[in-house]
Structure formats: structure tokens, C-alpha cells
Amino acid sequence: MSNSYEIRDPIHGFIQLNDWELSVVNHPAFQRLRRIRQLGLSELVYPGTTHTRFEHSLGVMHVGTRMFDKIVEKRKEFLMQVLGFNDRGLDKDRVIVRFACLLHDLGHCPFSHVGESVMPVKSNGKHYKHEDYSSQIVRIILKDVIENHPENDNYEIKADDVAAMIDGDATATLGRRLLWREIVSSQLDADRSDYLLRDSYYAGVSYGHFDLERVLSTMTVASKSGGSSTLAIEDGGRNAAEALIIARYMMFWQVYAQKTRRICDFHASEALKCILESDMFCKGTFPIPDSEANLKKYLSLDDFYIFGKMHEHECGRHSECLLDRKQDRCVYETSYNPLAESNELKEVKKVLYGRISFTDNTAFDWYKNLQEIPIYNKDSQIVEDLSQKSQIIPALKKSGLIRLYVKKEDVGFAKDQIKEIRSKEVK
């Protein structure tokens, strides 16, 4: 009988682990997440956001388990008679889902998403993502601790089973287990449910709040018109699903895309490029996740390492901007949803030519980048997209804005020029 351990969490209360999971949590690759800030350098704006990927990963495992258990409790007959699951398979899948949720962020680089612009490029021209590193760390670095633990004698789980759940590798034999990947990565995933509540808690804002209990109590699995199965929300939980999307929308604009945070992200990204360029084994980018040696090099990089290099002044003015709180300043910002550059913006760019240090062109397509949430009607057994059932969601069309930043010493000049442009327009 495995021992049970409890970790106290400010968001979810007590999070339980067994011996097997604890051995994974205690592995250096997972402990590294204690040194990876969840929100990069957001603490320069929201001082409380010093939480890390470590506690977030534990929270995702906790929420993902609750999702899995609720679906099995509610739809076990459907899972077994229609989809072909059995008790042993469900027990094994539960273990895999817990590990996948726990380990989904293993591959985050220093400052989390900020560093993804520095990741190497694949043969298809696209950048590697942290999920690529996460799955490879699971397959290679954590293979032994996952596969050779005594408790695995009951399940015969392979590291590749967990990695495939993280990266959705089509070559892996997920089979009907593909359904559970939606708990790890989808519009309804446990990742989003945890980070919205956790980030808003530590930032001290209420924008990310939504009714998690209602979402969990109305989660189900249903067949779509094409015959495939999907995780869905019962029609009675539609408003909770709307609140989840609205919470993400508000957190994006009020926290994740806040203007000072955005320029700090820019400085951090430039500092990373400079540090990695001077590092003998990185050559200006992170190591490619194609070998144990490269993965170990990658895992040696964390926020502490990068801050140490900043203090050694290996990244010029960008380290000074961050360490001395002398970041560049936003001097111009458009309204939301600019369809095109206005004449005023073009004129501002013209008069500030050579002084603009960073142009932040932030845009988010809430339809393209967000998958639809399926809404299941128990009476008709029909699955419809949330946007078809909601008056609110269709209004969240693509939104964005453009900001112009200059060095601190150029702020006075820039504001004078912008004021003059606007005075001419009034006349």
C-alpha cells in the first residue's frame, strides 16, 4: 500500500501525492520549477506574483484529477459501453493523466513564456515550444523514475505514454486515451483552470475568478455529430463556461498584457539572447531537445542563473533596465481593436524615428486561438459550440493594440512631439 502525502496549497487546499508521484516531484528536473517564475517578471508590476511553475504544476494535477474523476463518475456507462473503456484501463489512464498534468510545464525556460522567442527553430521553420522540451524531458530524463518505480508493476506505464499526453504526438498510440488529452490541453483544460485562479490570487486582482466548482460539476463526455467524442459542459453549466473565457480575456488585458509588464518582457528577452550568445554551449539560443546531454544543459538554466548573469552585466542596458527599474517607457498607445495604423500613429512613428526602442503590437484572436467549448444538451443529446449558445462570446472578437516605447531619457522629447501632433489635428 502506497503512502499518501499532503501539500497545502492556497488555491485548492490540500493536494495529495503518493510515493510514486513524490519520487517524481523530488527529481531535480521537477524541483527546477521552483526556480521558474510562473509569470516571468510580472512582480515588477504586481509584487505578489512571485509564484512558480512548481506550485502551478501541482495545482494542475489536482484539478485534472478532479475532472477525470467527475467524468468517470457521471459517464462511466457511456465510457465503457460506447467508447470501450474498462475498469483496469480507466485506473491506468487516471495515473497517466495525473503525471501528464504534473509534468506538462517541465520544459519552461527562464522567465517562462518570455524565453520562448529565444528557442531554436525546427526544420519546418517554427520555433520549438516548451511542450516539446517537457515531453522530451519526460521521455529521456524521467524515464527511469516513471517506469522503474515498484508501483508501476501494477500499471506498466511507459514514459512515452505520459509524454504523448503532453505533446499530443500523433505517432504515439493514444487510441481512445486521446479523449483525456483534453484535460491536459484544450479550452477546458486543467492548466487554464488553475493558472487563472492562481495568477489572479497572487496578482491581487479579481479578473481571473470563475466558478470552478460549477465547471467541474457540469463536465461530461459526449459524442459529436461526426462520431468522435469530446469533453463538454452540460447546458446547465454554460454560464460558468462563459465566465471562464471572460476571466481569461480580462486577465490577458489587465495582467498578462499590462504595458509595463510587456516592456519588461522585452528587456528580459533581449537579455536572454545576449546571455545565451555569450554562453559557450548555447550559441544565442537554447539547446535543441534532441539528446540527454542537451536536455541536461537546458535544465541547468533557470531564473536564478539568468539573474546571476544579469548582475555580472553580461547583457548591457537590458540588465540595468530590469535590475535598476529603468525600463523603457510607453509614450503612445492606440485604442483596442485598431483595424489599421491611423494617420496619427504613422506621424508619431515618423517624428520618433530612431528613438522607438520597442513596438508592442499585441493582438489576440479569441476565435482562432481559442478552441470552442462544446455544450451538451442531456435531453436532446446534441453537442453545440458555446458561441452558438452564448450572446457574450461572439462579441469577443479579435482584439489588439499598438504601443510605442522609448528609452527613459527620451520620454520628454517624445511626449512633446506627440502633443504637438495632436494640437495640429485639433486645429
**Which residue is listed with cell 436532446?**
380
Torsion angle (degrees, nearest 10) of CA 111, 112, 114, 116: 130
Q: Which grid coordinates belong to 270?
A: 533581449
Contact between 142 and 159 (Cβ < 8 Å): yes
Question: What is residue 397's DSSP assignment?
Answer: -
Buried b (16+ CB within 10 A) or exposed e, 218-254: bbbbbbeeeeebbbbbbbebbebbbbbbbbbbbbbee
Q: What integer pLDDT is reported at residue 94 of this predicted model? A: 97
Which helix (H) or strand (E) segment holds residue 128: the answer is: none
Quick one: pLDDT at residue 282?
Answer: 67
Calpha distance 262→278 (Å, rounded): 25
Q: Which phi and psi angles does 145 have, rounded to 5°? A: -70, -25
- Amino acid at site 88: R
Per DSSP, 46 falls in state: S
Strands 374-377 and 229-234: parallel
The answer for residues whose C-beta is within 8 angstroms of residue 76's C-beta and 6 or more apart is 90
pTM, two decimals, is 0.94
Q: What is d(CA 205, CA 124) in angstroms, rounded to the nearest whole number?
A: 40
User: How far apart (Å, rounded) are the C-alpha atoms in residues 392 and 409?
Assistant: 44
- β-strand partners of 402: 361
Q: What is the C-alpha separation between 191 and 375, in angstroms, rounded?
A: 20
Mean pLDDT by 10 residues, the chain (427 residues): 90 97 98 97 95 98 97 94 93 97 96 89 89 96 97 95 86 74 91 97 95 96 83 94 92 94 94 82 83 95 92 83 93 80 91 95 70 87 88 80 95 95 76
Of 64, 105, 400, nearest to 249 by C-alpha is: 400
Question: Of 225, 261, 245, which is closest to residue 405 (Cα–Cα)?
Answer: 261
- pLDDT at residue 146, rounded to an integer: 98
Distance, first Cα to last Cα, the chain: 81
Name the phi and psi angles at 86, rounded to 5.
-135, 170
Q: Residues 295, 133: contact at Cβ < 8 Å?
A: yes
Interatomic CA distance for residues 290 and 348, integer angstroms:
46
C-alpha 286/C-alpha 314 separation (Å) is 17
Domain range annotation of the chain = 328-372+393-427
Q: CB-hemisphere CA count at 13 Å for 102? A: 27
Nearest to 383 by CA among 249, 206, 225: 225
